[in-house]
Amino acid sequence: MSVQIKSEQDIAGMRVAGRLAAELLDYLTPHVQPGVTTREIDRLAHDYMIDVQQTIPATLNYAPPGHTPYPASLCTSVNHVVCHGIPGERKLKAGDIANIDVTVIKDGYHGDTSRMFFVGPPPIQAKRLCEVTYESMWKGIRAVRPGAQLGDIGYVIQKHAEGHGYSIVREFCGHGIGKNFHEEPQVLHYGRPGTGLRLMPGMTFTIEPMVNAGRPGIRCLADGWTIVTADHSLSAQWEHTVLVTADGFEILTQSDGTPPPA
Ligand code: MF3
Ligand code: CO
Ligand code: CO
């Protein structure tokens, strides 16, 4: 299946799913505290999706080719975990940084978003990594307009992160999204301007840069999902689902608690 142009009806459905995903993060925010286990956060999210939102947790039992089914309703990636951290008995502690990544399905449409959370006051280098990663995502988002190319997005993200001495994870990327969780195109977080797919109104995809404080290399743990930095340096990630509009972009994963633009 090639890159789809969404209909007005699709876009309306994606606005709803995107808002619900963001509202789920809003709901979880006060619970991200020292002493809370990531499994407790997963349980809260699962119950909120099922009982309050009547959404489906897209990650639960998600099994792309070559993977065992993912066992939780969200991903919790703490400190040197890059992405796809599986919630468990680990208690969050002051000074941790945690990415919480949620994807909900509402009326067949997906909304996918993640934010970084500080558990207690953050160490200064951790805070800076999270800020620069957020700015990188926003630089990518601001590059979205009809006629721009995917390489333009990747380039500004990479330039900002590397300009601060950080590195971009290459093995994972943003993705088209709609009735499918992951669809074309792949949205790389590095690249060269003037290369790649040309954007058209009605495309919907995520921008979700993973930025490492140290080297870009990663490793997958024996659970088959958890991705960590090979050098154990800290890693941060932010994610929005965006729509290409007639004259720019619209962020679909917005709620009252969405952090302001960088
Ligand atoms: N939400 C992630 C993304 O941004 C995907 C998680 S898939 C899982 O694409 F199976 F690991 F949950
Ligand atoms: Co996600
Ligand atoms: Co995504």
Q: Is the minimum distance from the CB of 110 to ligand 1 under 6 angstroms? A: no
| Ligand 1 pocket member 96 (CB < 6 A) | no
pLDDT in tens, 67-120: 999 999 999 999 999 999 999 999 999 999 999 999 999 999 999 999 999 999
Closest residue to atom 8 of ligand 1, CA basis: 59
Range 8-251: architecture per CATH? Alpha-Beta Complex (3.90)
Q: Which pTM value belongs to this model? A: 0.98
For residue 73, the model assigns a pLDDT of 99
For 130-154, b/e burial (b = at least 16 CB within 10 A) is bebbbbbbbbbbebbebebbbbbbb
Closest Cα to atom 12 of ligand 1: 59
Judge whether residue 53 has pLDDT over 90.
yes
Q: Which of 182, 208, 242, 200 is nearest to 18 (CA)?
A: 242
Classify 47 as helix, strand or coil: helix
Q: How confident is the model at residue 40 (pLDDT cuts 50, 70, 90)?
A: very high
Average pLDDT over residues 136-159: 99
Instruction: For the chain, give every domain's residue range.
Output: 8-251
Is the C-beta atom of 173 inside 6 A of ligand 1? no
